[in-house]
């Protein structure tokens, strides 16, 4: 099929995730046909620097044959067997072992799923099971955050706080949401540190309002990803930790984006010194090459669910798929042996921060922030007032399109431009990214003038 045939069949038969089908039919899809290193290529031969690591997952880029070979070898040896009914496979045991060593102390058990959404569903089931086994059945409510993202199943989307999603289904009635630590958007006249405390204390207020005896757990991303790379003020996480300890509420940290090196530490929980009771992972664990997710289960919960009787009636046909686990093992081996994360921490992240901050001087950039290998730009009409151009987020859409025109994949979340390049990006490629982003901003400024 040629490009226009492909686009036509796509339009006729394929329903894409998070897509306005009407718009897509007008515009047509970009058919990605190849990728190498940190670049993707479309059917027209247009090469793009992938500033988003696909969907925050191809952290080692697209050319790691160690991972594809590991998958292939496993497929030839034992393409599949399940972990139900007292059975198991070697790769799943080995990956569980490696994960318990790499993750923060106290996380010594893992439950595998196929995706981040399923892993967060699993968290809900584990949280409920834990409090039930402890004879505290009133502890039922889980608190998430406005504009958080935890996936797209009913449970995961309920835990998330995306209002556009909540409008299209009935969210679970035992999930509540509190303020996000988004200083640029919601901080008003407070300093970032004051606002960080304010946002954290919205959790305290919610707990008091619901009654601590009714609150089971709090779930959050260390840094919001899909919500717009929202990096909390330094004051935020210590205050959240204090509040959770005060009321004896479990902490589930969703590391689907920040796990495996994105902050320059192995996990966002390492970066912020969190001790989660549950820790969700997916995406980068297989470098995006094979579907795999899961949740690390803290000793506090594991002790209870493993020692008290009865079956945990939960799991998936492909939980701990051997080929997925081999992809995970191969990915983690590269991360460790090539000291990828140390290089992010010591070299690439500081360089990206320096270059990214330069964009703050651009006339339409109200804030440029970054941490590790994520960055965000707030597009504004008026810098001092933090005023947007319009309510339709026109600037964000234009900037994304201009960026692609100049050969860079940058994502727009409203009028917030975000990047999360592969961890293996070089300083020269960071320079290329910056130059392209700069041109996209210039074009956007012209279009919005």
Ligand X SMILES: *Cc1c(COP(=O)(O)O)cnc(C)c1O
CB-wise, 235 or 280, nearer to ligand X? 280
Q: Is 178 in a helix, a strand, or coil?
A: strand
d(CA 241, CA 218): 10
* Among 261, 256, 267, CA closest to 219: 256
d(CA 179, CA 177): 7
Binding mask 257-276 for ligand X (x = CB under 6 A): x-------------------
Binding mask 198-237 for ligand X (x = CB under 6 A): -----------------------x---xx-----------
Q: Which window, 80-88, 252-260, 318-326, 332-340, contacts ligand X (CB under 6 A)?
A: 252-260
Q: Which window, 123-131, 144-152, 175-183, 417-425, contacts ligand X (CB under 6 A)?
A: 144-152
CB-wise, 25 or 154, nearer to ligand X? 154
Residues in 64-123 at the binding interface with ligand X, rule: CB under 6 A? 115-117
CB-wise, 229 or 437, nearer to ligand X? 229
Contact 281, 319 (CB under 8 A): no
Nearest-approach distance from CB 413 to ligand X, in angstroms? 12
- Contact status: 294 vs ligand X (CB under 6 A): no
CB-wise, 294 or 366, nearer to ligand X? 294
d(CA 151, CA 153): 6
Please report, for residues 4, 6, 335, 383, 406, the alpha-carbon distance to residue 31 in angstroms, rounded to integers and kept in the order given. Answer: 10, 8, 30, 37, 17
d(CA 276, CA 412): 30
- Contact status: 282 vs ligand X (CB under 6 A): yes
Tell me the residue nearest to ligand X as measured from the CB: 116
CB-wise, 7 or 103, nearer to ligand X? 103
d(CA 389, CA 448): 8
- Contact status: 180 vs ligand X (CB under 6 A): no
Please report, for residues 111, 216, 254, the alpha-carbon distance to residue 130 in angstroms, rounded to integers and kept in the order given. Answer: 15, 9, 19
The neighbour count for residue 31, using CB atoms within 10 Å, is: 13
Nearest-approach distance from CB 285 to ligand X, in angstroms? 10
d(CA 79, CA 64): 21
Specify burial of residue 263 (Cβ count, 10 A radius: 0-12, 13-18, 19+): buried
CB-wise, 48 or 282, nearer to ligand X? 282
CB-wise, 420 or 433, nearer to ligand X? 420
CB-wise, 376 or 402, nearer to ligand X? 376
Please select the residue that binds ligand X; options are 144, 151, 261, 421, rule is CB under 6 A.
Answer: 151
Q: Which window, 131-139, 146-154, 295-303, 355-363, contacts ligand X (CB under 6 A)?
A: 146-154
* Among 107, 95, 150, CA closest to 279: 107
- Contact status: 319 vs ligand X (CB under 6 A): no
Q: Which residues in this chain contact ligand X in the complex, by CB under 6 A? A: 115-117, 149-151, 221, 225-226, 254, 256-257, 282-283, 293
């Amino acid at each position: 099929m040629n490009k226009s045939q492909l686009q036509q069949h796509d339009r006729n038969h394929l329903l894409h995730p998070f897509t306005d089908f009407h718009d897509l039919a007008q515009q047509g899809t970009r058919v990605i046909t190849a990728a190498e290193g940190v670049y993707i290529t479309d059917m027209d031969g247009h090469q793009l620097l992938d500033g988003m690591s696909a969907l925050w997952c191809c952290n080692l880029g697209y050319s790691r044959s160690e991972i594809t070979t590991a998958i292939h070898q496993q497929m030839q040896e034992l393409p599949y067997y399940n972990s139900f009914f007292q059975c198991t496979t070697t790769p799943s045991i080995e990956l569980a072992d490696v994960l318990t060593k790499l993750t923060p102390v106290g996380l010594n058990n893992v439950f595998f799923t196929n995706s981040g959404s399923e892993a967060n569903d699993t968290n809900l089931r584990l949280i409920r099971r834990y409090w039930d086994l402890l004879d505290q059945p009133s502890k039922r409510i889980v608190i998430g955050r406005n504009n958080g993202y935890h996936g797209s199943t009913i449970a995961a989307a309920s835990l998330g706080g995306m209002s556009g999603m909540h409008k299209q289904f009935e969210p679970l009635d035992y999930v509540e949401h509190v303020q996000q630590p988004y200083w640029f958007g919601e901080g008003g006249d407070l300093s970032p540190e004051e606002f960080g405390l304010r946002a954290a204390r919205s959790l305290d207020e919610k707990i008091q309002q619901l009654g601590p005896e009714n609150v089971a757990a709090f779930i959050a991303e260390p840094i919001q990803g899909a919500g717009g790379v929202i990096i909390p003020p330094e004051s935020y996480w210590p205050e959240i930790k204090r509040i959770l300890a005060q009321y004896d509420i479990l902490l589930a940290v969703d590391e689907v984006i920040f796990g495996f090196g994105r902050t320059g530490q192995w996990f966002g929980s390492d970066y912020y010194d969190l001790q989660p009771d549950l820790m969700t992972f997916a995406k980068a664990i297989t470098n995006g090459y094979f579907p795999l997710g899961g949740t690390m289960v803290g000793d506090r919960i594991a002790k209870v669910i493993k020692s008290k009787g009865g079956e945990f009636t939960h799991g998936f046909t492909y939980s701990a798929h051997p080929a997925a686990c081999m992809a995970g093992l191969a990915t983690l081996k590269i991360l460790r042996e090539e000291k990828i994360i140390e290089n992010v921490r010591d070299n690439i992240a500081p360089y990206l921060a320096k270059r990214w901050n330069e964009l703050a001087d651009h006339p339409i950039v109200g804030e440029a922030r970054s941490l590790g290998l994520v960055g965000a730009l707030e597009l504004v009409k008026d810098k001092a007032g933090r005023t947007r151009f319009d309510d339709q987020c026109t600037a964000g859409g234009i900037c994304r399109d201009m960026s692609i025109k100049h050969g860079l994949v940058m994502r727009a979340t409203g009028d917030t431009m975000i990047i999360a390049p592969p961890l293996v990006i070089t300083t020269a490629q960071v320079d290329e990214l910056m130059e392209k982003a700069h041109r996209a901003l210039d074009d956007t400024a012209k279009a919005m003038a």
